[in-house]
């Protein structure tokens, strides 16, 4: 099975063409392939291109725990670069269908930068989803472990919980992220962003990603956190999002549709050995 590996600010994915799959891509096999020691190692798998009745391309996105993600900003940038590397797209924008909705993408700078129109951010509880009556989930309280946080929730095709804080660190994300991800408020689990506003055009986030754990960068997390900072009146509409892996640039339109811009780096391509699965219960 052939694979291509890319990273977007340290968030790495394997791209696999469905035509190259000699077996069903089960959760068990995904866990082995993505394992940092027993497999290739990645933050997920991008399965595509798939046929789409509405877009030019379609994509499925899998987390390293075997679950499926609705949308991934970094994954979409990586998949766009993969299509560009194969000569399937040029400089003109194109569409990609995901479980979390249709996006428009454009590859720039000789493949090193990709712009993605990520869709519209919603803060409504039934769309995210968040348990309870229908409402915009803004500055509510959540109790995790020994601490109560104020949070906002949002969706851009996948669920996010954003916690504005005076300081953010990897330790905070790793300590409180796992509990928030599976909190009963979030019936489909949630991605978690711990956010510090630096100025009107810059925020810093630490990320606990649903199904993947602590993550160096995330495009959908950047989009959701920037939208919350703007919604709260703390930032303007153009926001640079700083993460441990680097920065993503977010432009928020009046209707809260998002244009995300960030880098992509190709790492390698190769073939998986059948032996990889012999010692695993797959």
For residue 242, pLDDT over 60 is answered with yes
What single string gives the DSSP state of each residue in 65-100?
TS-EES--HHHHHHHHHHHHHTTS--SS-EEEEETT
The pLDDT > 90 percentage for the chain reads 91
What integer pLDDT is reported at residue 145 of this predicted model? 86
Q: In this predicted structure, what is the pLDDT of residue 229?
A: 98
pLDDT of 281: 54
Structure tokens at 89: 């797209």
Q: What are phi and psi of 236, to 5 degrees?
A: -80, -170
Report residue 55's pLDDT band, with 50, 70 and 90 as the boundaries.
confident
In order of start, what are the domains of the chain with their CATH numbers? 2-112+265-277 (3.10.310.10), 120-260 (3.10.310.10)
pLDDT digit string, tens, across residues 96-147? 999 999 999 999 999 999 999 999 999 999 999 999 999 999 999 999 988 9
Confidence check: pLDDT of 282 > 60: no
Q: What is the pLDDT of residue 54?
A: 85
Residue 182 CA to residue 32 CA, distance in Å, equals 23
Report which of residues 108 and 274 the model is more confident about.
Answer: 108
Half-sphere exposure of 258 (CA within 13 A, CB side): 33
Burial 54-68 (b: 16+ CB within 10 A, else e): ebbbbbbbbbbebbe
Q: Is the pLDDT higher at 179 or at 274? A: 179
The predicted pLDDT at position 280 comes to 58
Q: What is the pLDDT of residue 78?
A: 98
Give CA–CA dist 83/88, Å, rounded: 5
Note the pTM of the prediction, 2 decimals.
0.93
Mean residue pLDDT across the chain = 95
* pLDDT range class, residue 226, cuts 50, 70, 90: very high
Segment (H or E) for 194: strand 191-199
pLDDT tens digits, one per residue of 264-273: 999 999 999 8
Cα–Cα nearest to 122, from 150, 156, 73: 156
């Amino acid at each position: 099975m052939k694979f291509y590996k890319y990273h977007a600010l340290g968030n790495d994915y394997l791209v696999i063409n469905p035509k190259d799959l000699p077996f069903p891509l089960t959760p068990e096999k995904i866990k082995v392939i993505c394992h940092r020691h027993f497999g290739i190692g990645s933050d997920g798998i991008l399965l595509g291109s798939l046929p789409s009745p509405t877009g030019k391309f379609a994509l499925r996105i899998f987390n390293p725990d075997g679950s499926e993600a609705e949308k991934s900003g970094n994954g979409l940038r990586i998949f766009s670069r993969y299509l560009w590397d194969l000569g399937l797209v040029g400089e003109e924008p194109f569409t990609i269908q995901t479980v979390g909705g249709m996006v428009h993408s454009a590859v720039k700078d000789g493949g090193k930068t990709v712009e993605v129109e990520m869709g519209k951010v919603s803060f409504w509880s039934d769309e995210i989803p968040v348990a309870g009556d229908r409402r915009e989930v803004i500055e509510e309280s959540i109790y995790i472990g020994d601490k109560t946080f104020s949070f906002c929730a949002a969706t851009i095709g996948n669920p996010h919980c954003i916690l504005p804080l005076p300081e953010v660190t990897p330790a905070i994300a790793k300590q409180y992220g796992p509990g928030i991800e599976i909190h009963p408020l979030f019936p489909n689990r949630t991605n978690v962003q711990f956010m510090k506003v630096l100025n009107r055009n810059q925020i810093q986030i630490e990320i606990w990603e649903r199904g993947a754990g602590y993550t160096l960068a995330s495009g959908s997390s950047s989009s959701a956190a920037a939208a919350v900072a703007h919604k709260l009146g703390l930032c303007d509409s153009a926001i640079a999002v700083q993460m441990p892996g680097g920065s993503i640039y977010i432009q928020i339109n009046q209707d809260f549709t998002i244009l995300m811009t960030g880098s992509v780096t190709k790492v390698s391509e190769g073939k998986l050995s059948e032996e990889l699965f012999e010692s695993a219960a797959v």
